[in-house]
């Protein structure tokens, strides 16, 4: 919005030319999101404390100290993330860019699913909200809608699956691309949701992956850089960098209040929407397989749950003391801060590895 307003006065005020630069608008979106979070955050926390009273339901099979320490902490903090993100994106992005609107659509849609889930948990005062089947069905419908619209309205989009490291290796998925896209988005969303279990554990890796994909989107949307790196050029995808920057700013603002001891949890409102956004960005930029590396921490958390469930059903024994993986280390006696910081380090390492693959090709 600011970009188009500036165009009306650019002839009289030449310094407004700076709004044409993607990097400047991304910086503006980043700062705006943080400021909105800082201003709105305290009021939102007070409101949720009054409305929720008992706060976030805590799993009763977790460590006893955690149940007592976190009892009464309000949830639905993802609403703060989404509010800061939406306002910032609308202000700083190219409002005629289809990719921005599609990713914002799926982010807010999954946020709404998470909000309903959080609401039901609070109403029942139980960590069980929407049933798993219903949640997956709704998520799949939204993800399919996104994939369909992406294919219809984007001239550059196709059904190809590109492989990292290799220069000219790709696979045309045909109609299976829709199923693949749904798996990526829904899988990413729920993997992030599983990771969200300790103060600050999920939000920092979310920001790290978003920072990674802001770089990737910028490269994919730049004809010169994409040609140099021998990656697929997609016109307009660079605008996603503004979205990512806005989300990172909103994430930092949320972390201010989510840092131990957390004043608010993001809940499914934040985790489902964040994961969906990451998955959708990877699909849009044609770097779905890179997400497996950059978001490897989320993948490990999801795999730990799958392995635990299958092992118990087949053998009656558990592989981990508790799943997801971060709870396993809790049960082993690791402190919350140790787990969180070490998981952050792993996430940074995986992000760097994912970026290196672009130079290898």
pLDDT tens sequence across 244-262: 999 999 999 999 998 888 8
Counted residue by residue, the chain has a size of 361
CA dihedral (292, 296, 298, 301) in degrees, to 10, reads: 120
pLDDT digits (tens, 9 = 90+) for 175-219: 999 999 999 999 999 999 999 988 889 999 999 999 999 999 999
Q: Answer left, alpha or beta for residue 72, where phi above 0 means left and psi between -120 and 50 means alpha.
A: left
pLDDT for the residue numbered 339 = 95
The two three-digit tokens of residue 97, written as one number? 């860019």
Averaged pLDDT, 83-87: 97
Question: Distance (Å, rounded) from C-alpha 253 to C-alpha 36?
Answer: 8
Averaged pLDDT, 57-67: 55
The two three-digit tokens of residue 92, written as one number? 């700083």
DSSP secondary structure of 109-157:
HHHHHHHHHHHHHHHHTSS--S-HHHHHHHHHHHHHHHHHHHHHH-SS-
DSSP secondary structure of 274-317:
HHHHHHHHHHHTT-HHHHHHHTHHHHHHHHHHHHHHHHHHHHS-
Q: Is the model's pLDDT at 67 over the cut of 80? A: no
Averaged pLDDT, 262-273: 92
Number of domains in the chain: 1
The two three-digit tokens of residue 172, written as one number? 């045309």
Residue carrying structure tokens 């984007």: 154
pLDDT for the residue numbered 150 = 94
The values of phi and psi at residue 171, to 5°, are -135, 125
pLDDT digits (tens, 9 = 90+) for 106-158: 999 999 999 999 988 887 766 677 888 999 999 999 999 999 999 988 866 67
Determine which of 49-58, 158-167, 176-185, 342-351 has the lowest per-residue pLDDT on average. Answer: 49-58
Question: Distance (Å, rounded) from C-alpha 308 to C-alpha 43?
Answer: 40
Domain residues for 156?
A: 2-360
Strand pairing partners for 172? 160
pLDDT for the residue numbered 170 = 86
pLDDT digits (tens, 9 = 90+) for 152-164: 888 666 788 999 8
The values of phi and psi at residue 54, to 5°, are -80, -15
Which of the 8 DSSP states describes residue 232?
-
pLDDT for the residue numbered 55 = 58
pLDDT band at 328 (very low <50, low <70, confident <90, very high): very high
Averaged pLDDT, 325-351: 94
3-state secondary structure of 333: coil
Residue carrying structure tokens 């993100």: 85
pLDDT for the residue numbered 59 = 56
Averaged pLDDT, 228-247: 93
Please indicate whether residue 25 or residue 155 has the higher confidence score (pLDDT).
25
- The mean of the pLDDT values for the chain is 89
For 53, residues 6+ apart whose C-beta sits below 8 A from its C-beta are none
pLDDT for the residue numbered 260 = 80
Q: Where are the alpha helices (DSSP H) in the chain?
A: 2-9, 22-52, 64-70, 78-92, 98-124, 132-153, 176-195, 203-220, 223-229, 240-258, 267-284, 288-294, 296-315, 325-331, 336-360
pLDDT for the residue numbered 292 = 96
pLDDT for the residue numbered 5 = 72
> Is the CB of residue 162 less than 8 Å from the CB of residue 286?
yes
pLDDT for the residue numbered 6 = 72
3-state secondary structure of 171: strand
Q: Is the model's pLDDT at 310 over the cut of 90? A: yes
> Is the CB of residue 88 less than 8 Å from the CB of residue 19?
no
Q: Is the model's pLDDT at 65 over the cut of 50? A: no
Q: Is the model's pLDDT at 11 over the cut of 70? A: no
Question: Distance (Å, rounded) from C-alpha 338 to C-alpha 52?
Answer: 30
The burial of 260, by beta-carbon neighbours within 10 Å (0-12 exposed, 13-18 middle, 19 or more buried), is given as exposed
pLDDT for the residue numbered 123 = 79
Strand pairing partners for 170? 162
């Amino acid at each position: 919005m600011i970009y188009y307003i500036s165009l009306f006065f650019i002839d009289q005020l030449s310094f407004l030319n700076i709004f044409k630069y993607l990097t400047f608008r991304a910086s503006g979106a980043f700062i705006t999101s943080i400021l909105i979070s800082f201003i709105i955050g305290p009021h939102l926390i007070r409101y949720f404390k009054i409305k929720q009273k008992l706060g976030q339901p805590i799993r009763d099979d977790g460590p006893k100290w955690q149940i007592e320490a976190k009892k009464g902490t309000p949830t639905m903090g993802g609403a703060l993330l989404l509010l800061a993100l939406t306002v910032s994106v609308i202000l700083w992005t190219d409002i005629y860019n289809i990719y921005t609107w599609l990713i914002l659509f799926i982010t807010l849609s999954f946020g709404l699913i998470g909000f309903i889930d959080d609401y039901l948990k609070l109403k029942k005062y139980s960590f069980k909200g929407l049933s798993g089947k219903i949640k997956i069905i709704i998520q799949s419908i939204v993800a399919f809608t996104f994939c369909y619209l992406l294919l219809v309205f984007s001239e550059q989009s196709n059904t190809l699956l590109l492989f990292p490291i290799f220069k000219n290796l790709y696979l045309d998925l045909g109609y299976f691309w829709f199923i693949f896209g749904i798996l990526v988005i829904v899988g990413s969303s729920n993997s992030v949701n599983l990771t969200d279990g300790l103060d600050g554990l999920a939000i920092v890796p979310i920001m790290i992956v978003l920072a990674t994909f802001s770089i990737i989107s910028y490269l994919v949307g730049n004809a010169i850089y994409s040609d140099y790196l021998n990656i697929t050029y997609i016109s307009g995808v660079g605008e996603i960098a503004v979205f990512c920057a806005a989300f990172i700013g909103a994430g930092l603002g949320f972390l201010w209040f989510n840092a131990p001891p957390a004043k608010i949890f993001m809940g499914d409102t934040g985790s489902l929407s964040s994961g969906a956004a990451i998955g959708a960005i990877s699909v849009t930029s044609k770097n779905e397989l890179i997400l497996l590396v950059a978001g490897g921490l989320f993948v490990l958390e999801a795999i730990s749950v799958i392995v635990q469930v299958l092992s118990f059903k087949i053998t009656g024994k558990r592989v981990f003391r508790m799943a997801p993986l971060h709870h396993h280390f809790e049960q082993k006696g690791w402190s919350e801060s140790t787990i969180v910081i070490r998981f952050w380090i792993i996430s940074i390492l995986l992000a760097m590895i994912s970026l290196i693959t672009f130079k290898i090709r």
